[in-house]
Amino acid sequence: NLSDKLQRSFKNLRGQGSITDENISEALREIRLALLESDVNLDVVTELIEHIRTRALGSQVATALSPTEQIVKIVHDELVNVLGRDTARFQKSSQPPSVILMAGLQGSGKTTTSGKLAQWLKKAGHRPMLVSVDVYRPAAREQLAIVARSINASLYEGKVTEANPGTDAVLRLAREAKREAASYGCDILIVDTAGRNHIDDALMAEMAALKKLLNPSEILFIADAMTGQDAVNSAKAFNDHLAITGAVLTKMDGDARGGAALSIRHVTGAPIKFLGTGEKPDAFEPFHPDRIVSRIMGHGDIATLIERAEEKLDRGKAEQFAKKALSGDGFSLEDFRDQLRQIKKMGSMKSILKMLPSVGPFAGMSQAIDNVDEGQFTRVESIINSMTQKERLDHEIINGNRRKRIAKGSGTTVQDVNNLLRQYAQMRKMFKTMGSGGGLKAQQRMMS
Ligand code: GDP
Ligand code: MG
């Protein structure tokens, strides 16, 4: 991935006393390759490399930073520059309802993102209404209806009675939905549109007609980050026809190469406004240029990780658990299961590990991430589920016979059950020792 490659190219600079034309050329060549392989558009790469070279050579003044650190900082800054320094604002019109037009190819994530956006807006105190104007596919409208129901958002269903519905029906639905939103006191109308697998004149004409009718405050291009350069090309086409106001990069939880973000911004001039990081309605976050660049460059994204932890974890419960674990009684398997469930709320193990820096103590982590066994958590949880509550509160009563039953009940093996019980016993003992010894207690006293 890009971060590994950048790290490698920086490594070559290590041990050099200062930046010279010579030693930077090698590094720049590798940065160039790394960016190209990460789906960054050629024009963007060329421009970036020139900026980096100029700044690097101009930065030979005495500084506390080593040459490597200087280049890292310059590359970081320049990547952030391409993406726009600040998190882009979400635009509303002065006259409600503000209309958000969702544009993009089939499968890019328009319907899913419409729901995510509605949920995000609700949390921010808005009253969004959803409508699908895909008059061609009843199943597409039904998909949005299901999404709306799952997040408890208003939906304009409308009816398509035409035998051969076309743009007229699309515009009629859109017009009705806007009126409905206004009369329901909804301040935002999210318009999910029909997707095609490719860009054609009919699609663009329909989108242009919708834009003219609805006068949207946001035209969001929904881009599947996994499709790399293809997403960049369709972003350009949509922008040429519609003048998009922003983009949403979906499927960033997969192995998407971050380059699409840089390219879309550069090619369309429109900022990336949100990221989609999973299929669930809350796997959605505003786009922070500096954070994504850190992610690309392998410095991790601690800020997002902390934010996510604060949002999803119950601090009271965590403190309770710590107190219990350190006490003479120790924590039970029931407590342990509670903690597992808390951690699972933060997302997949992969997505959590991805946010850690891939330098320093975490170097080489990216390989480990590929081998993460997401099933492990679930297995442990089902083993604990298969115990009786009495057993969860006192693991010592679990004999050989019960271990067999528990393995059977949880679809695991006796060895899995034994491993879990052994690890649990070790952890419990370790915590208790920490609690009674000087170590953690003394530290806690210092911190309070
Ligand atoms: P549309 O055709 O543009 O409306 O696309 P959909 O919203 O139906 O999404 C297509 C597929 O992509 C569905 O299976 C979604 O669950 C999935 N999807 C959408 N956004 C994300 C995302 O951020 N991460 C992942 N992993 N899947 C997503
Ligand atoms: Mg759809």
For a substitution probing ligand 1, which of 106, 111, 112, 146 has the most ligand atoms within 8 Å of its CB?
A: 112
Question: For residues 58 and 56, what is the distance between their CA atoms, to the nearest angstrom?
Answer: 5
User: Is the pLDDT assigned to residue 446 strictly greater than 90?
Assistant: no
The structural domains of the chain, with segments of one domain joined by +, span 2-83, 98-296, 306-447
* Burial class of residue 235 in the structure, from the number of CB atoms within 10 Å of its CB (0-12 exposed, 13-18 middle, 19+ buried): buried
Query: Is residue 106 annotated as involved in ligand binding?
Result: yes
* Predicted local distance difference test score (pLDDT) of residue 382: 92
Tell me which residue has its CA closest to atom 20 in ligand 1: 109
Task: Give the ligand 1 atom nearest the CA of 276.
Answer: 23
Q: Provide CB contacts within 8 A for 447, sequence distance 6+.
A: none
CATH of 306-447, one of 1.10.260.30, 3.40.30.10, 1.25.40.10, 3.40.50.10610: 1.10.260.30
What kind of fold does domain 98-296 have according to CATH?
Answer: Rossmann fold (3.40.50)
* Domain 2-83 listed as CATH 1.20.120.140: yes
What distances in angstroms separate CA 14 from CA 9, 56, 66, 295, 360, one per listed residue? 9, 15, 8, 21, 14
The residue written with tokens 């403190």 in the block is: 319
Distance of CA 120 from the midpoint of ligand 1 (Å): 17
Closest ligand, as measured to the CA of 285: 1
User: Is the pLDDT assigned to residue 447 strictly greater than 50?
Assistant: no
Query: Is residue 378 annotated as involved in ligand binding?
Result: no
* Predicted local distance difference test score (pLDDT) of residue 438: 47
Distance of CA 191 from the midpoint of ligand 2 (Å): 11
pTM for this model (two decimals)? 0.70
* Predicted local distance difference test score (pLDDT) of residue 339: 82
Most confident range, picked from 296-305, 347-356, 375-384: 375-384
Tell me which residue has its CA closest to atom 19 in ligand 1: 109
Q: Tell me: the pLDDT tens digits for 258-290?
A: 778 888 998 999 999 999 999 999 999 999 888
SS3 131: strand
End-to-end CA distance of the chain: 43
Establish whether residue 116 lines the binding site of ligand 1, counting it when its CB lies within 6 angstroms of any ligand atom.
no
Q: Tell me: the pLDDT tens digits for 415-437?
A: 999 999 998 888 888 777 776 65
The vertex-211 CA angle with 122 and 82, nearest 5°, equals 75
Establish whether residue 110 lines the binding site of ligand 1, counting it when its CB lies within 6 angstroms of any ligand atom.
yes
Confidence check on the interface: ipTM exceeds 0.90, yes or no: yes
Distance of CA 198 from the midpoint of ligand 2 (Å): 14
Q: Provide CB contacts within 8 A for 279, sequence distance 6+.
A: 112
The tokens of 221 are what?
Answer: 């291009």
Provide the pLDDT confidence category of residue 365 given band limits of 50, 70 and 90: low
Q: Tell me: the pLDDT tens digits for 139-167?
A: 999 999 999 999 999 999 999 998 899 99
Strand partners, 103: 221
Sign of CA dihedral 334, 338, 340, 344: positive
